[in-house]
Amino acid sequence: MDYRRLGKTDLRVSVIGLGTEFIWHEPREVVTEVVHEALDHGINYFDLWMPSPEIRDYFGQAVQGRRKQALIAGHLGSTLKDGQYFRTRDLRRSEEHIHDLLTRLQTDYLDVLMLHYIDDDADYRTVFESGAFYELALRLKREGKARYIGMSSHRVPAARQAVASGLIDVLMFPMNPAFDALSADLQLEAYWDVKSYPGQSERFALQPERKALYQLCEQQEVALVAMKPFAGGWLLNGKMKRFHLTPLQCLNYSLSQPGVCTVVPGCKDVTELRQALEFLDADAAAKDFSTLRQSYSDDFQGVCMYCNHCLPCPVKIDIAATTRLADSAQQGVTDAIRADYQALAVKASACRQCGSCMKRCPFGVGVIANMQRAVALFGS
């Protein structure tokens, strides 16, 4: 398993995490089997947003004796009402459900306390500007019941505002090739409406607002947790006929974007989990998502997707990582970005300008110019 630092925190998270939504209604045996399989293969990041007592109990029992191996994200504002999921900003109800989660997990703390599902401007103001809900999260952190504070969102404006505010450590956000071509301001419901997407004869265009959000996360050292990497299965089950992607390509797409620390696919059983874990041993060809060029419009031309399809480089520059860091540094070179650049084995200054990479790039990226830009930004 590969691990990345969770933003500016002191935690290191597995690049493949686990979204537990699809084992929500599974029996105890399935939950235990999936969680144990994940832990046995080095997965250490688990998102547990569901409020139902059964999944909380089953998950808690599954991690008993292995709590230190698991980084658990729980959601403040995800509650039950009349036996059904209910999103709320009611302080008493929200706190009670966090205490219930801790009790059922048989633990004293959450590693990440997510401010749950903040999409609208009015809701953002309720959570952050009125103060009470965010103050509740801070109090829980002071009491030792949470190590870090995050936020889950599905819309760029609210997510961007939270990242820029410095008030959160982690952002959980949907990310896949289809969603990244949608308007930045769409409501969550529109993600699952086929009318939101271009017709079969049309072509997608990459939305710069989404890429800018990812770059802002990297610049601000806010950890980006990529959810919905398969678009709820749409990218795999034929609903998106223009996309011919495998699970490995989808996972690699998310993990190649700026700021991403981990991707949390939903797996309903061990078979699906093992399919995701194949990513760890897959070769570059199996993970190559450059076929996206066939689906996107010409607006995509010249935009680096960080797929490294341009390799091999004769001097062994990691072109995707170098370009990604240069893109993220356009608004300023932070200490973290500079440190990540310095950690690269071969710097952009080693570029011989041979152009072999540009001949292989399916997106027409000006790789040589990007290497020169990196040298100008980082000095080597």
Digitized pLDDT (tens) for each residue of the chain, 380 residues in all = 999 999 999 999 999 999 998 888 889 999 999 999 999 999 999 999 999 999 999 999 999 999 999 999 999 999 988 888 889 999 999 999 999 999 999 999 999 999 999 999 999 999 999 889 999 999 999 999 999 999 999 999 999 999 999 999 999 999 988 888 776 776 666 665 666 665 554 555 667 898 899 999 999 999 999 999 988 777 776 666 666 778 899 999 999 999 999 999 988 899 999 999 999 999 988 988 877 766 654 444 677 767 676 878 999 899 988 998 998 888 788 888 898 899 999 999 999 999 988 887 766 789 999 999 999 999 98
H/E stretch holding 135: helix 132-142
Q: Which long-range contacts (CB under 8 A, 24 or more apart) does 143-147 make?
A: 144/108, 144/109, 145/98, 145/102, 145/108, 145/109, 145/110, 145/113, 146/109, 146/110, 146/111, 146/112, 146/113, 147/9, 147/11, 147/109, 147/110, 147/111, 147/112
Domains of the chain, each with CATH number or no CATH: 3-297 (3.20.20.100), 319-378 (no CATH)
H/E stretch holding 133: helix 132-142
pTM of the model: 0.80
Strand, helix or coil at 152? Answer: strand
Q: What is the pLDDT of residue 232?
A: 75
Question: Strand 78-81 to strand 84-87: parallel, antiparallel, or no bridges (unpaired)?
Answer: antiparallel
Task: Enumerate the H helices of 176-291 as residue ranges.
Answer: 188-191, 208-220, 247-255, 270-277, 284-287
Q: Which two tokens stand for residue 332?
A: 């300023």
H/E stretch holding 305: none
Rg (CA), the chain: 21
Sign of CA dihedral 136, 142, 144, 150: positive
